[in-house]
Structure 1
Amino acid sequence: MDSKDTSVASLRGNMGPLELIFTVVAYNGPVVVFLGFIPVSVLLGNGVGTPAAFLVCGLIVTMLAVGILTMSARLKKPGGFYALITAGLGRVVGLGSGFAALTCYFVALLSAYALGGIALNSAIVEVFHGPAEPWWLWAGLMLVVTTVLGHFNISFSSRVLTVFLACELLLMIAYDISVLVKGGAHGIGFDSLTPHQIFSGSISIAFLFGMGLFGGFEATVIFRDEVKNPERTIPVATYGVVALLAVTYAVTAWCFVNSYGAAVVMDVVSKNLVSASTDSIKQYTGQFAYDAATIMLFTSSFALVLAAHNITARYLFNLGADGILPRSLGKPHERHVSPHRSSFALGVVSLLVLLVFVVGNVSEDALYARLAGLYSYAFVILLAVVALAVGVYLLRDRVHGKAVGPAVASLIAFAIMCVTLVLGTVHFDLLSGATGTLKDVLIFLMWGVILVGVGWAVYLKRNRPGVYSSIGRQ
């Protein structure tokens, strides 16, 4: 039975489990992770033991997912983290978290525009031998296309994301098989699973990076009104996303280690961090796969842009529907039943912010690194707060009864997220490349957004109780 809430402004769609999985996994940009993230994780994290770290992080995220899905099934409301945290911890914390979630995914969107501009320029120059153009030209083109796609129903965007993601996964599978068939550099070894390697290097950094791999897994919940049979589709898609990400990244990282050999891979990433993955692809799968990877770095970035735009637009839609932002943002399109106004507004704001970066002559590499690091930090904050909210809600739910198992799992995840958040604060320079004053400003910015949301909720409670009562899609 479809129990979508139709008493308030809502979206509609007909996505099945596979479409929803691909829509969310596209947000992670698998090829982006392979080409840029895995070598960095090996270098700064626990080295050869990186694949095991990815699997452990997947298990922790699964624990949190159990609680989120249990609570979501009882709550039956759209809004993602915004709705869940409000229901668990109240409207004041809920609105602060809603602002944080909106900022988190907006920052991810901006960083993806920068990466996409870099990637497309690289593909044009290296593969098609065309002229080099400024990154912002391609970023602007992506922005226009993405905003147009966001005008239509999510089912249209999901088809585009499905095609792109399928190509990415095929490339990674082809690479993994090639490494295994050819026996790696010195035979296929399982050093990555030995205690010595798992606990080598910096476990804290490995864990911090590993958690960032699962960004957006909860987006399955925010698309609640746009899937068919949400009671079945959302759980299947959520566990499917976590499992696909954990297995894909762990196996590919393991193959990457074996492609150079456990004894030398650290030397390789130390000396050649930027092209370590692409060199390995060329060696094991040939020039065609290398060219395909160069092109797919752009398509993966574009898929990430489209997914991030869709998620951010829906946070805008939910805040608009509640009256926190202009209510016009929370009105769906009459024909497409899409958040068309939120999508357009997001496109305009994204354009203005990107123009500021361009006029300020901010380096695209630095821009991507800083924003990606800020996103990772914000995501950990959200995970910590939602884990606490889920645990509290499930332990005090008088309507459906207590759900002790999922609640305990969520509270354990909360404790782990708190440790991760401390590590993220201490090692924010490694996350973002920002040091000194800039590091402090970026951290303050994220917490400042939360405080603004909290302050606005307090104001609404005193002066606009009608709006306050609707916070969190209540």
Structure 2
Amino acid sequence: MAAPTESAHAPATRLSGTLGVGAIVFMVVAAAAPLTVIAGTIPLGVGAGNGAAFPATFVLCAVVLLLFAVGFCAMSPHVPDAGAFFTYVRHGLGRPLGMGAAFLALATYTAVQLAVYGYIGAAIDELVTSYGGPSVPWWVWTIAVIAVVAVLGYRHIELSSRVLGVLLIAEIAIVVVLDVVVVLAGGSPEGLSTAAFDPGQIFSGAVGIAIMFAIASFIGFEATAVFRDEARDPQRTIPRATYLALVIIGVFYAVSSWAIVSAWGDEAAVAEAGANPGTFLVSTATNWLGPVGGHIVTILLVTSLFAAILAFHNVAARYWYALGGHRAVPAACGRTHQSHGSPHVASLTQTGISLLFIVVFAVAGLDPVAQVFAWMAGTATLGVLVLMVMTCLAVLVFFARSGVDRRVWNTRIAPLLGLLGLLGCLVLTLGNFPTLIGGSTALAVGIGAVLVLVTLAGVAVGITRREGTPPVVTRETAL
């Protein structure tokens, strides 16, 4: 008997696209929000972490994540589905834990998107008022941004990649200009900083806090595998994009933070970052590039936040899409748009959830930076570390059980070293978690409990709901 054919009018269930290495790198580097990290994380790492040696912390974290990426990329050809963490853990540790990872990933990427939504609302308001415009509640700007992201997320992925590419080039360019000017001038009167090359200074001060902030700065690089269905040649594109994104992010952070410390001098940088973390980058740019440079940085900080939101929206939407295909959430989320080839239902679902949370935060009167951003960014940092630990375990178990790849470094040694490094980062993050979210131990325990419950809910779905095949949907139900 002939196999049934899909109706010409039935909704598609596969994502489509011809994304190359460059396009995927743009999206995941944009998710890392490099200018936002330079403006927000570096002052915290320098002022509250290991001081002028903080740039070296980015190198240490990049090495750990590169070890993670070796196993991640080795397993990529054997995991043919979109869904990144979810599909890796499902193949290595089984469907229940895979579903637990999927639910945790959804919570994690939603949290980081909400964090940036809060930040961008405050940043736009500050930008507008600084040029004499009216001051409006932060959530008004945030809802406007949600509307723009909803439109871009609904359309074909290549539209988002082009928007992100333009924004990313702009934000990286201004920081590179600042780096070059500082380095060519020889830094502050005391010269270029050498603290980052001194092991004694690297491991001094609150190095645990420094590592925690540094590892949080890389969130998003692992999303390369989420776009495998939309990649031109997944087996080559995904590994290359993963390594390239990590190297670009790591080098950019390390060099730029070193240049900014050098612009002030070691002691002055620590003092300024501790006293005025919110204006640390803008002050540096103004001092070295003039008032125009300071204005450009302020404007590009907003576009950097927007790029991060759009990138994380696309990642979260593809988790909804993957779960819809596996019937862990309504099957409609597993549909794709007939014209755009996008996970349009999943995208609208993520938009609706984001809008709901923003309304709740606004009604509750939460501060967009001190509370919304700090709480949600901390939640995302903890969640992504747990997910990477689970993925490392899945890689080790998968190759040990299947034997499909005999390369010892790629399938045994590197994943194990990556696992040990990530466990160390997780322990440090747990120990300093109250600091990461603003100092409340009770809130830290509450956030941890929510993440555990979300993961257990996913495990329960994996146990109780059969995977099956997504049902055939008629044209009428697709409309």
| TM-score interval (norm. to shorter) | over 0.9
CA distance in 2 between partners of 1:401 and 1:363 (Å): 50
Q: CA deviation at 1:402?
A: 3.2
Alpha-carbon distance between aligned partners in 2 of 1:252 and 1:465, rounded to the nearest angstrom: 47
1: distance between equivalents of 2:133 and 2:405?
Answer: 63
Q: 1:174 aligns with which of 172, 177, 193?
A: 177
Alignment partner, residue 472 of structure 1:
none
**Residue 458 (structure 1) shift:** 2.1
Cα deviation, residue 396, structure 1: 2.0
Q: 1:158 aligns with which of 133, 137, 161?
A: 161
Aligned residues: 457
Question: What is the letter of the counterpart of residue 230 of structure 1?
Answer: P
The question of whether the paired residues in 1 share the 8 Å contact of 2:156 and 2:342 is answered with yes
Equivalent residue number for residue 474 of structure 2:
none
Who is 2:382 aligned against?
Answer: 377
Alignment of 1:120-159 (within 5 A): 120-126=124-130, 128-159=131-162
Could you tell me which amino acid in structure 2 is paired with residue 33 of structure 1?
A: V
Residue 192 (structure 1) aligned to one of 175, 183, 196: 196
**Aligned residue number for residue 295 of structure 1:** 299
Give distance in 2, aligned partners of 1:172 and 1:394. Answer: 41
What is the aligned partner in structure 2 of residue 402 from structure 1?
Answer: 406
SS of the residue 1:275 aligns to = helix
Q: Structure 1 counterpart of 2:457, which letter?
A: V
Q: Does 1:368 align with 2:373?
A: yes
- Counterpart check, 1:393 vs 2:398: yes
Q: 8 Å contact 2:42–2:257 — kept in the other structure?
A: yes
Equivalent AA in structure 2 for residue 381 of structure 1: V
Alignment-derived partner of residue 277 in structure 1: 281
**Displacement of 1:467 after TM fit?**
7.2
In the other structure, the counterpart of 2:43 is 39
The alignment's C-alpha RMSD in Å is 1.6
Do the aligned partners of 1:376 and 1:431 also contact (CA within 8 Å) in 2? no
Q: Which position in structure 1 is the counterpart of 2:222? A: 218
Distance 2:402 2:467 in 1: 25
The residue aligned with 1:90 is 94
2:110 aligns with 106
- Superposition pairs for residues 52-91 of structure 1, below 5 Å? 52-91=56-95
Q: Report the CA distance between 1:434 and its aligned residue.
A: 4.4
**1-structure distance, mates of 2:320, 2:261:** 41
| Alpha-carbon distance in 2 for matches of 1:264, 1:63 | 35
Other-structure match for 1:456: 461
Aligned counterpart in structure 1 of residue 326 of structure 2, from 322, 326, 345: 322
Following superposition, the deviation at residue 16 of structure 1 comes to 1.2
2:269 corresponds to 1:253: no
1:208-258 deviations in whole A, cap 9, x for unaligned? 222112111111111001111122221221111000000000001101111
| 2:122 corresponds to | 118
Quote the residue 2:9 is aligned against.
none
What's the CA shift string for 1:110-133, capped at 9, x where partnerless?
11111111111111122x221111
User: Which of 424, 432, 440 is residue 435 of structure 1 equivalent to?
Assistant: 440
Distance 2:244 2:15 in 1: 23
Q: Which moved more, 1:316-325 or 1:204-213?
A: 204-213
Cα deviation for residue 465 of structure 1 reads 6.2
CA distance in 2, matches of 1:61, 1:382: 13
How far the C-alpha of 1:372 sits from its partner, in A, is 0.7
User: Is residue 45 of structure 2 the alignment partner of residue 14 of structure 1?
Assistant: no
Give ranges in structure 1 of 5+ residues lacking alignment: 1-5, 469-474
Query: 2: distance between equivalents of 1:259 and 1:83?
Result: 45
Residue of structure 1 equivalent to 2:476: none
Q: Structure 2 CA distance, aligned partners of 1:74 and 1:441?
A: 37
How far does the alpha carbon of each residue in 1:58-88 deviate from its partner, in whole angstroms, 9 at most, with x for none?
Answer: 1111111111011012222221110001101
Mapped partners of 1:374, 1:123: distance in 2: 27
Structure 1 counterpart of 2:415, one-letter code: S
Question: Could you tell me the TM-score, scaled by structure 2's length?
Answer: 0.93
